Amino acid sequence: MPVYLAPWRASPRAFQSSRSESMPNLASDGVVCAPLQTFTEEETMLKNMVTKFAQERVAPLVQKMDENSKMEDSVIQGLFEQGLMSIELGEEYGGTGASFFSIILVVEELAKVDPAVSLLCELQNTLTNKLFTTYGTEEQKRTYLPRVAKDTIGSFCLSEAGSGSDAFALKTRAEKRGDYYVINGSKMWISLAEHAGVFFVMANTDPSLGYRGITCFIVDRDTEGLHVGKKEDKLGIRASSTCPVTFENVKVPETNILGQVGQGYKYAIGMLNTGRIGIAAQMLGLAQGCFDHTIPYTKERVQFGKSIFDFQGMQHQIAQVATQLEAARLLTYNAARLAETGRPFIKEASMAKYYAAEVATLTTSKCIEWMGGVGFTKNYPIEKYYRDCKIGTIYEGTSNIQLSTIAKSLAKEY
């Protein structure tokens, strides 16, 4: 009889996350396994600072930025001034020198107030800075890292009209001519393009090799032939720009190749895996912010002689959402801690992003219902959270892509 059909027999395989991992000399070393929501003193201080910044500098401008589809310059400047655009960068480059987990806490806190602002911070830290520090040459680091820490926004150019989830079907080409390359093509759905000062452009240097010809180029905004198009009129995260970017005979010196020729696809995969934890934090913060706005209202709103919070039917719904929020937080924090300590985290990152996006969708929808008519109006921020959350199931890998990634990991484990 096949092993998998044998009744009451322990499985020879085990779900990876269910496997315990011993810590040598745990008792003798006096090491305590802290809960996931235990932060270092530095992380706690940063979290509190960001909460204050978001309430004082961002909150008063959220409605205006959403209506105008434009990020206020004062908000961008504030993020740089507070060191929130260079959280993990070393102090030698003008960065804060904090942990990766700190990025996740910052993104979560900002998203409670405005998910669009948190996206700017998330992409700068998990994509722009990470690409330079991981794959950049010493010369590229000296040139660009002080800039992205001080006042320069980066933008990642991967998606095209015909390559969304099938990202490596991109058509943008880079032709070698002597000691430089000429890039031609167009990109779509490029986040932060409106304000970006430097672009990471994925282009194929040898189409005959397929995705193994994809190479990452560093292109400055003022390079001749680079054009940023009209920004999209979006459903949500409207203050964060999303634009098409075209390249017409854009000359890029060979020294502006990031990493190695033909390795761009690997860099994209690696960065998006980490970035997914950041998007999970964004969705988590968004959902928590919406929940925090709504529950006090349910305790104040009186119908049939008592607050609507006091009806058991409401309490059960609220308790269910609160439980799911906590589960999303633990998934996100766990993935972040795994990544921070250099342990495998791809499956956990996909789980966190997938689940946090689902929870954000449920939470914001329920909050509108609990608020009733006022939740459906723009006089309250609830409907904005509802609009903002939808992108969580789409960018940096759709929910179906996350499920496929999780399933591939499971197939290897069993």
Distances from the Cα of 333 to the Cα of 55, 96, 277, 310, angstroms: 23, 21, 8, 32
Concerning whether 41 is annotated as a catalytic residue, the answer is no
Neighbouring residues of 337: CB distance < 8 A, sequence distance ≥ 6:
36, 101
Asked if residues 65 and 238 have their Cβ atoms less than 8 Å apart, the reply is yes
Give the HSE-up count for residue 162: Cα atoms under 13 Å, Cβ half-sphere.
6
How far is Cα 351 from Cα 409, in angstroms, rounded to an integer? 11
Q: What is the DSSP string of 345-414?
A: -HHHHHHHHHHHHHHHHHHHHHHHHHHGGGGGSTTSTHHHHHHHHGGGGTTTS-HHHHHHHHHHHHHHH-
The first and second tokens of residue 189, run together, are: 């759905």
Neighbouring residues of 272: CB distance < 8 A, sequence distance ≥ 6:
396, 397
Among 88, 108, 348, 396, the active-site one is 396
The first and second tokens of residue 159, run together, are: 């998606």
Distances from the Cα of 297 to the Cα of 155, 221, 367, 380, 396, angstroms: 39, 46, 10, 11, 34
Question: Any idea which residues carry the catalytic annotation?
Answer: 396
